[in-house]
Amino acid sequence: MATPPQTVASFETCLDELEKVVKELESGDLPLDRSLELFSRGMQLSDACRTQLEEAETRVEMLIRKEGTYQPEPFRPEK
**What would the pLDDT profile of 2-19 be if each residue is shown by its tens digit?**
544 455 689 999 999 999
Residue 73: beta bridge partners?
62
pLDDT band at residue 56 using 50, 70 and 90 as cut-offs: confident
Q: What is the pLDDT of residue 5?
A: 46
Q: Which fold has domain 11-74?
A: Helix Hairpins (1.10.287)
Q: Whole-prediction pTM value?
A: 0.67
Phi, psi dihedral angles at 2 (to 5 degrees): -75, 145
pLDDT band at residue 28 using 50, 70 and 90 as cut-offs: confident
Q: What is the pLDDT of residue 63?
A: 65
